[in-house]
Amino acid sequence: TLTRTLLGIESSCDDTAAAVVRLKDGKGRVLSSIVASQTELHAAFGGVVPEIAARAHTEKLDTSIQSALDAAQLGFGDLDAIAVTAGPGLIGGVVAGVMCAKGLSAATGLPLIGVNHLAGHALTPRLTDGLAFPYLMLLVSGGHCQFLIAHSATRFERLGGTIDDAPGEAFDKTAKLLGLPQPGGPAVEDAATRGDPERFRFPRPLLDRAGCDMSFSGLKTALLRARDARISDCGGLTVTDRDDLCAGFQRAVRDVLIEKSRRALQQYLEMSPAAPTLAVAGGVAANTAIRTGLETLCDSLGVAFTAPPLRLCTDNAAMIAWAGIELLTAQAVDPATLTARPRWPL
Ligand code: KG4
Ligand code: ZN
């Protein structure tokens, strides 16, 4: 059977990533996956600074690609194509990746495939679990939050998503407001395990509205208000206050994601898919409370649940190489996708 080996390149946010993935006997295998994180560069600014990100990608792309090839013990001559994220994302980083990939393609003669970053996330369960189409995907990270039905490598049906912030962003802002380190997700989750989720009651936005749209920006305002009320009453926050605020916040995010997942699943099940599955991906899928909540929901509805391992849930280039393989297999490679674009809905 057909064997294909692709290099993937990803630079749309704050991770410079390169990976080699091989399709063999109908199965995908990650031969190498390098992720150079920029977290430390941005730490002092409390968020990703696009200009710093772009410059760091430019510095790290070539060494990351060389490391990925070395780790796979392969050279360019062993590859069938190069896949690169062409959007959506911070445009400076996307341009750096696309131009680097174009240069490599020109020098090696390897075909070049432009990949949508969101398609990369959404197709990952097919790489890790061999999941068959169709399936419902909840993509939930620092930059994205949406429900998608994956019908094929090129057809994704959006059922709804956030109308403002992504949940990961809300976790990060919460950490910042409470003096916890970045990225905020793991720090807030850790504090929440010791906190009382009932003491502070945060809003569950848009639950009264039909459909699967979500909103998370009001949560950080509510958190800020609760924090400041505590500070003006008591002159400061105790560790218990902080843990309780984290627990209350996390509970609100979890409740919204679970209720909206229930509605997305109801819509999806009306299509009567043969083996209904909910897959989650994105950094927030690492959150144990959210993950187990989703798992319990799926159990109660007779729906299978799957989440890729964390290193393939968060931004990486293996998902981009895999999406490139999927596009080749579907004979859906489109030269028009080789233009870097900040916005690119699926
Ligand atoms: O997928 P990702 O690496 O990057 C993109 O945003 O595309 O996701 C990073 C986000 C950050 O906002 C981080 O705070 C959040 O995922 N995150 C978590 C957890 N681990 C990471 N959020 C909640 N709980 C966690 N355990
Ligand atoms: Zn992402």
**pLDDT single digits (tens) 56-102:** 889 999 999 999 999 999 999 999 999 999 999 999 999 999 999 99
Residues 6+ apart with CB under 8 A from 169: 142, 143, 216
Domains 4-129+314-338 and 135-310 equal at CATH topology level = yes
In tens, the pLDDT along 102-152 reads: 999 999 999 999 999 999 999 999 999 999 999 999 999 988 999 999 999
Closest atom of ligand 1 relative to the 121 alpha carbon: 1
Region 37-53 average pLDDT: 81
Residue 142 Cβ contacting ligand 1 at under 6 Å: yes
Region 23-28 average pLDDT: 96
Cα–Cα dist 221/227, whole Å: 10
In tens, the pLDDT along 208-245 reads: 888 999 999 999 899 999 999 999 999 999 999 999 99
Q: Left, alpha or beta for 46 (phi > 0: left; psi -120 to 50: alpha)?
A: left
The pLDDT mean for the chain works out to 94
Residue 114: beta bridge partners? Answer: 84
Tell how far the Cα of 219 is from the centroid of ligand 1, in angstroms: 17
Q: Between 70 and 1, name the one with better pLDDT.
A: 70
State residue 108's pLDDT score.
97
State residue 182's pLDDT score.
84
Q: Using DSSP, state whether 86 is helix, strand or coil.
A: strand
Tell how far the Cα of 141 is from the centroid of ligand 2, in angstroms: 6
ipTM: 0.98
Tell how far the Cα of 169 is from the centroid of ligand 1, in angstroms: 8
Kindly report the CATH number that applies to the domain delimited by 135-310: 3.30.420.40
Residue 282 Cβ contacting ligand 1 at under 6 Å: yes
* 44-51 CB contacts, 8 Å cutoff, 24+ apart: 46/176, 46/182, 47/172, 48/13, 48/14, 48/90, 50/90, 50/91, 50/92, 50/93, 51/92
State residue 48's pLDDT score.
81
Answer yes or no: CATH 3.30.420.40 is held by domain 4-129+314-338: yes
Q: Decide: pTM greater than 0.90.
A: yes
Q: Is the dihedral of CA 214, 217, 223, 229 positive or negative?
A: negative
Q: Is the dihedral of CA 180, 162, 50, 88 positive or negative?
A: positive
Residue 284 Cβ contacting ligand 1 at under 6 Å: yes
Q: How confident is the model at residue 342 (pLDDT cuts 50, 70, 90)?
A: very high
Is 117 marked within a binding site?
A: yes
Q: Where are the domains of the chain?
A: 4-129+314-338, 135-310
**Sequential DSSP letters for 104-172:** HHHHH---EEEEEHHHHHHHHHHHHH-PPSPEEEEEESSS-EEEEEE-SSS-EEEEEEBSS--HHHHHH
